Amino acid sequence: MDNENKSLDTQPIENKPIEGNYSEESIKILEGLEAVRKRPAMYIGDLSERGLHHLINEVVDNSIDEALAGYCKTIVVTLHSDGSCSVKDDGRGIPTGPHPVKKISTLEVVMCTLHAGGKFDKSSYKVSGGLHGVGVSCVNALSSYAEAVIERNGNIYKQTYSEGKPTSSVEIIGTTDSTGTMIRFYPDETIFQVTKFRFYKTSDRLRELAFLNPEVTIKIIDEIEGEEVIHHYEGGLVDFVKYVDEAATVFVPPCFVSGSDTGGLDMETQVDICFQYNSGFSENVLSYVNNINTVEGGTHVTGFRSAFTRTMNAYAASNKSAKNQKLQLTGDDFREGLTAIISVKVAEPQFEGQTKTKLGNSEVEGIVRTILNVQLSQFLDANPAQAKKILEKATLAAEARIAAKKSRELVRRKNVLESSTLPGKLADCSLRTPEDCEIYLVEGDSAGGSAKQGRDRRFQAILPLKGKILNVQKARLTKILENDEIRAIFTAIGAGFSDEFDASKSRYGKIILMADADIDGSHIRTLLLTLFFVYMRDLIFQGKLYIAQPPLYKLKKGKHEYYAYNDQERDGIIDRIRKENPRAKSKTTLGPDGTQKVDGIALSRFKGLGEMNPVQLWDTTMNPETRTLLQVTIEDAAAATKIFQTLMGDKVEPRREFIEKNAQYVKNLDV
């Protein structure tokens, strides 16, 4: 996989789990962990690599809770060479004595009963929790084998499990001076599509947790790769903001705001915010509730935005320079080049929205607003030089916005008499039902031409793009709107722009990026992904963005043609043909056109999309019956933001380092 797909993740859509097949016979009440094994996707989202890594998050979240309660300092996550994962913490240890209600060991209740993962004492509330917050018992249920080792009361206790059921009682296996919990699990190979843990995937989430919880130290050991890393950030959100903006030019250093309030309810809501400005033009706001990335925002983000705009405007009004007197600065103006992290800890979070990542608690909006209003105006008063820089930046943004509006109005007026404003280069499809339609954004006019001829024009539209599109990370709105290629993309999709963008209005159900499998193609894909990430992110969240996978090789033996999408497939096809033709002598010859012949098999490498004729392009890359599409998903918004800042930001050195570090991904693509 190439580097651009690392955190803005892609997965083959064929492997998507089929969820909730509620035939009549399956409607019966399932009790306990059997339910988890029968419908695993309902509990952990899916059974792909993502679901697999959720297992680690679920276990770590319990240790984070223990840390937030003030009892745990260090968490060690080990990816063992036998394929298992263990999570060890130095908290109080899961109680092993009899459970007050169930009478059996509390450890067994926690490990083997659904939703029994929470704390039993009411004084502390559970603040962390994975996306699904299903607890360690689900992890146990989805493991072929698991064990818990508890250090508590001077003893070391151990219990083992298989498929979520205990295979031993809680036994004392030694004595100890320390306390803590160790849970080791072997993901069930009959349930997950993949069971190999990946270091970087594990590390990305644990780094994020370490930024959000500066009191903990999280160590990750990969026994297979021999890698080891310690995440501990004393600076918390300040370090987080610096990390995200590492490749950007920062001109207002981090401002940290922190406080808590009950908002008139029983429990305190803790608010931590950190922001800084870089010389770029996009807004990067990452928000968290109880360590969960709230990609759909919610009341905490609303509170942040309104307080930010209000306080900034109030300051601008009382510190008017001659220039900005005439300008009305908007929230957008203040958010150009802003990187901010908002982290709140809420006792009883209500999650709403399509993906349950939008905070609904109404009291939180006011709590965030009040804390930010007070502390942000204190910051501005105490740092007049920084405040001036922010105002200057916002003023420039406002001027550009007004100029952009004027040119947009001009464009609109010009088009009044035209019935259709679709771009001339677009070969649209004939169907008008978006969910059935797809658009290919194709690199280069020649590939665009082949695609236009090869497509099924009923439901496939083609938009050829000329050369490299504009890097939206480095350009201001006005310039972006002046760019023909980008305008063509926006008008073809037809879902609006910027503030008015509404992904549900997309004219196509699938937007498919199709570029060559070489360095240039990879760069174009990254630029396009950046455009979608920054300006059309909801299309990604709604699962509408895809990457086409053209083959790398064509093999021909007699009348038969085969396509291979990687070296492994190519070798597999050669082996198969050889087995079917056992008498063929092993020899290699070179054809006149440079085509290699191995045992009479003509092997050619596709250098680019343009090399395929329309029929080949249809067969290999566009025919829904035979093609492979990678769906673009944002699994880790923080990591994705960081990657785009690095790849597209203005500092060269971090970009070079990043590409070198991820060279193996780049290489896979270019071999």
**Which residues are known to be catalytic?**
443, 516, 518, 520
Q: Which is nearer to ligand 0RA, 128 or 293 (CB)?
A: 128
CB 59 to ligand 0RA: min, Å: 7
Task: Tell me if residue 11 falls in helix, strand or coil.
Answer: strand
CB of 186 to ligand 0RA, least distance (A): 18
Decide: 281 and 648 in contact? Cβ < 8 Å: no
Q: Which is nearer to ligand 0RA, 91 or 263 (CB)?
A: 91
Of 76 and 527, the one with the shorter C-beta distance to ligand 0RA is 76
As measured in angstroms, the least distance from the Cβ of 92 to ligand 0RA is 4
**Closest separation in Å from C-beta 94 to ligand 0RA:** 4
Minimal CB distance to ligand 0RA: which residue?
A: 62
CB of 119: closest distance to ligand 0RA in angstroms? Answer: 5
What is the token pair recorded at 93? Answer: 């240890």
The H or E element containing residue 462 is strand 460-465
Return phi, psi of residue 326, to 5°: -80, -20
Cα dihedral sign, 161-162-164-167: negative
Nearer to ligand 0RA, 118 or 494 (CB): 118
Which tokens is 248 given? 């950007």
Q: How far is the CB of 51 from ligand 0RA (least distance, A)?
A: 20
Minimum CB–partner distance for residue 111 and ligand 0RA (Å): 10
Q: Which amino acid is at 460?
A: Q
One-letter amino acid at 539 equals L
State how far the alpha carbon of 382 is from the alpha carbons of 40, 378, 496, 577, in Å: 53, 6, 41, 76
Minimal distance, residue 84 CB to ligand 0RA, in Å: 17
Q: Which is nearer to ligand 0RA, 59 or 536 (CB)?
A: 59
Using the minimum distance from each CB to ligand 0RA, give the nearer residue, 213 or 278.
213
Q: Compute the least distance from the CB of residue 218 to ligand 0RA, in Å.
A: 13
Q: Is 489 helix (H, G, I), strand (E, B) or coil?
A: helix
Closest to 109 in 3D by CA, of 128, 122, 96, 123: 96
Q: Is the dihedral of CA 130, 135, 140, 146 positive or negative?
A: positive
**Structure letter (DSSP) for residue 610:** G
Angle between helices 237-244 and 637-648 in degrees, nearest 10: 40
Please state whether beta strands 358-359 and 292-293 pair in parallel, antiparallel, or not at all (unpaired).
unpaired
Distance separating alpha carbons of residues 161 and 146, to the nearest angstrom: 5
CB 460 → ligand 0RA: shortest distance, Å? 51
Q: How many CB atoms lie within 10 A of CB 412?
A: 10
Question: How many angstroms separate the CA atoms of 464 and 610, rounded?
Answer: 12
3-state SS assignment for residue 477: helix
| Cβ-based nearer residue to ligand 0RA, 94 or 540 | 94
Pairing of strands 460-465, 438-443: parallel
Of residues 181 and 291, the one with the C-beta less far from ligand 0RA: 181
Q: What DSSP state is assigned to residue 17?
A: P
Task: List strand residue ranges (DSSP E) for 262-372, in order.
Answer: 269-278, 284-289, 292-293, 338-345, 351-352, 358-359
Q: How far is the CB of 145 from ligand 0RA (least distance, A)?
A: 18
Cβ proximity to ligand 0RA, 136 vs 338, nearer residue: 136
Q: Find the farthest-apart pair of alpha carbons in the chain and give their distance in angstroms, rounded.
A: 90
Q: Which is nearer to ligand 0RA, 60 or 632 (CB)?
A: 60
Residues 6+ apart with CB under 8 A from 353: 296, 298
What's the CA gap between 379 and 389, in Å, rounded? 13
| Token pair listed for 669 | 């693509």
* 111 versus 391: smaller Cβ distance to ligand 0RA: 111
Compute the CA torsion angle 630, 634, 639, 641 (nearest 10 deg). Answer: 110
Alpha-carbon gap, residue 670 to 662, rounded angstroms: 13
Residues 6 or more apart whose CB falls under 8 angstroms from that of 177 comprise 154
Collapsed DSSP state (helix, strand, coil) of residue 426:
coil
Instruction: Give, in degrees to the nearest 5, the angle at Cα 520 between 515 and 526.
Output: 70
Non-local CB neighbours of 257 within 8 Å, separated by 6+ positions: 271, 272, 273, 274, 371, 372, 375, 376, 379
Binding site for ligand 0RA (CB under 6 A): 62-63, 66, 89, 91-92, 94-95, 119-120, 181
